Amino acid sequence: MTSYKIEAGTAQHIGNRPQQNDRAALLTGARAPGYMLAVLSDGIATPAGAEQVLHTARQVFDEFKPSEHPGIERLAQLLHDIISETHTVIKMNALTAQSEIHASFVGLVISPHGEAVWAHVGDSRLYRFESGKCAMRTSDAAYVEHLIGSDRLPSDAARNHRKSKLLLNVLGNSRKEPFVTTGSHTELRAGDAFLLCSDGLWHFFTDAELAAVTAKTTPRQASEKLIGKAAERSQGKGGNCTMAIVKLSKPPREA
């Protein structure tokens, strides 16, 4: 039995963009009591890809029926299934619409056994905090190394992949399969926290700043502070800003 309770919330702001292309959700599985899925996606140019991410995530998670203790690999496969199915559907929809649809992906599964597993594609990020400090965050370093090693690209070309449609790491890219990075952490405890966010947020903060705000306030208070500060630092030029915050706190003592 876990020794913490989960506090979570999502928030977003449109920034100076004409529309909100990001999407985020906190989900429970119909056949997986005690499991939670947080998912966030940044739709590129249109919200269609991000909306498909959430739609597929709900479907796949509702069909997920874990064994008594499925383990890290099974939870990672759940996230891979969401990514694979979304990528396929987005490409099919793009053919019908005769225009490409792209989206980033970051997902987090928390099990009732004190385990957390995450996966990400693109430039949306996941942060893991411990006791008010950043223990890790996702990045595209592994993808850059993949481009250098597997595609044999020069290091400069690999690091500038966001400028190339051919190399862009997103769901829906008809030219390239998404490169997925995964991670996990076991023995979760009160004081741990996770932040999933789009580049409209993380671009304006250091890891330490995000850790401090998340640790000191509730998810709702933290999101309000971060959105306000991001708007201030962007000087009115910020993009869509979206986040999902998951905090593990001590359960109230029984009377």
Q: Is 233 a residue whose pLDDT tops 50?
A: yes
| pLDDT given for residue 255 in this prediction | 42
Mean pLDDT of 197-218: 96
Beta bridge partners of 12: 242
Q: Is 235 a residue whose pLDDT tops 70?
A: yes
pLDDT tens digits along 157-193? 878 887 776 678 999 999 899 999 999 999 999 999 9
Q: How far apart are CA 120 and CA 140, in angstroms?
A: 9
| pLDDT given for residue 187 in this prediction | 93
- C-beta separation of 231 from 238 below 8 A: yes
What are the two backbone dihedrals, phi and then psi, of residue 151, each rounded to the nearest 5 degrees? Answer: -95, -5
pLDDT tens digits along 7-50? 999 999 999 999 999 999 999 999 999 999 999 999 998 999 99
pLDDT tens digits along 122-133? 999 999 999 999
Average pLDDT in the chain? 93
pTM: 0.94
> Can you list the domains of the chain with their CATH numbers?
5-139+173-248 (3.60.40.10)
Q: How far apart are CA 195 and CA 46, in angstroms?
A: 24
Among 45, 24, 14, 218, residue whose Cα is nearest residue 125:
24
Mean pLDDT of 94-120: 92
End-to-end, the C-alpha distance of the chain in Å comes to 19
Query: Which tokens belong to 67?
Result: 């064994």
